[in-house]
């Protein structure tokens, strides 16, 4: 099943989709807010009825529903308008342009295009690897090490592990 579909399925519980897509803080806030209001609504309605004034259970239920709707709407907005897969063609074009600029020795142009890719999708391992390689070329070892290490931390960076470890060794980084 495509990742965007999984994210849509995960919207059943507020915050779960955000945690799964790397927005942990927002996801935890939404999940805690929803769980707390839902729990309060259940407790006020069926368990500890005398502890709350009349109408509070309805208010808690309304707040729980509003939290769920807001989380659902935000997730759908993010999936359909902001998800990196939506920009895949632009990312591929930028990457080709960056590689062409790099091969022609226009390193600043190449860097700008790679940084644009990373602004769209910060989890693009290929762009991070290329950025690290570009920093090596520009004699910026600290920036190169940082880009290579970020690449290694990504799921997609595993395919470049050997190359990155070799580059970090040459830079004196591991």
Q: Are residues 153 and 94 in the same domain?
A: yes
Q: Are residues 77 and 90 in the same domain?
A: no
What pLDDT, on a 0 to 100 scale, did the predictor assign at position 101?
96
| Percent of the chain with pLDDT strictly greater than 70 | 94
**Which pairs count as long-range contacts for 72-81, CB under 8 Å and 24+ apart, including other chains?**
72/11, 72/14, 75/7, 75/8, 75/10, 75/11, 75/17, 75/18, 76/8, 76/11, 78/21, 79/4, 79/7, 79/8, 79/17
Q: Are residues 13 and 39 in the same domain?
A: yes
Among 82, 100, 126, the domain-final residue is 82
Q: Are residues 165 and 101 in the same domain?
A: yes
- Distance between the two ends of the chain, CA-based, in angstroms? 38
pTM: 0.56
Q: Are residues 158 and 117 in the same domain?
A: yes
Q: Are residues 59 and 131 in the same domain?
A: no
**Domain count along the chain:** 2
Q: What residues make up the domain containing 12?
A: 3-82
Query: 24 pLDDT band (50/70/90 cuts)?
Result: confident
Q: Are residues 158 and 102 in the same domain?
A: yes
Among 82, 98, 133, the domain-final residue is 82
């Amino acid at each position: 099943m495509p990742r965007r579909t999984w994210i849509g399925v995960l919207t059943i519980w507020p915050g779960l989709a955000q945690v799964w897509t790397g927005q942990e803080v927002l996801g935890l806030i939404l999940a805690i807010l929803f769980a707390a209001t839902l729990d309060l609504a259940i407790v006020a309605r069926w368990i500890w009825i005398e502890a709350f004034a009349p109408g509070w259970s309805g208010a808690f239920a309304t707040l729980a529903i509003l939290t769920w709707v807001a989380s659902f709407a935000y997730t759908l907005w993010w999936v359909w308008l902001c998800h990196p897969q939506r920009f895949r063609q632009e990312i591929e074009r930028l990457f080709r342009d960056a590689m062409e600029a790099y091969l022609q020795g226009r390193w600043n142009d190449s860097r700008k295009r790679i940084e644009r890719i990373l602004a769209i999708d910060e989890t693009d391992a290929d762009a991070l690897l290329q950025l690290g390689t570009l920093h090596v070329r520009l004699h910026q070892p600290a920036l190169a090490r940082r880009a290579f290490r970020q690449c290694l931390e990504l799921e997609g960076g595993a395919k470049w592990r050997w190359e990155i470890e070799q580059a970090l060794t040459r830079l004196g980084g591991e």
